[in-house]
Amino acid sequence: MKIKNKKIGIVFFLLVFCFMLTACDNKETNVETEKIEPAKTEESQNSSDHKTKEDEKEANPTEKPEVTKTPEEEGKSITIYSINDESLESEQTKVQIKGEITAKVIVDAVVKAFEEHSLEIGIDSVEQEGANVVVSFLYSKAPLSQVGSTVEETILNSVADSLIDNLPDCKGVIFRAEGGAYESGHFAFGKDELYVKE
């Protein structure tokens, strides 16, 4: 019985040893593939040596000339607010906005900035009502659910401050929940109550 156990133990040890050797031997290798071009004849090499840049432009009419972008095409840099992962407070960040800067564009930029911190904000709608911007959130996502009061307040402050700072005609911000009064487990505002005003 002891001899049989020794044999089983030795076989087991050898199997483990073999596995260790094969695992250690499998190193990643980087294999570069080379592009193989067809061999050029002497005539084609000589004729290609005499080509000028103008000849190449004529031969490649699809090649587009370099276009210098105007500042309007590159977009405008604005400062919005996002979240600091350590302190959970608002922090400024710069983003590029292409096209017209509207309340919806600014709110979308803030939402995208929060997504970079793994926070999904649910926006129902963004509308301008006179001098105020009304931002309506979805109940199923942040800031109305899935976050604590500190993060909820940071989201609300970031959206409001980003709108006030970047829209000259925005004098106040109203928050709603799917079109109705804003109510979460932490904050409650009337349907037309100003969260912040300039």
152-179 pLDDT per residue, tens:
999 999 999 999 999 999 999 999 999 9
Which amino acid is present at 170? C
116 compared with 74, residue with greater pLDDT: 116
Q: What is the mean pLDDT of the chain?
A: 81
Name, in order, each residue with C-beta under 8 angstroms of 40's C-beta and a sequence gap of 6 or more: 48
Q: What is the predicted pLDDT for the residue at 191?
A: 96
| pLDDT given for residue 142 in this prediction | 97
Whether 122 contacts 170, CB under 8 Å: no
Domain definitions of the chain by residue range: 71-197
pTM comes to: 0.64
Query: How remote is the C-alpha of 153 from its chain's centroid?
Result: 22
Mean per-residue pLDDT, 90-99: 96
Residues of the chain above pLDDT 70, percent? 70
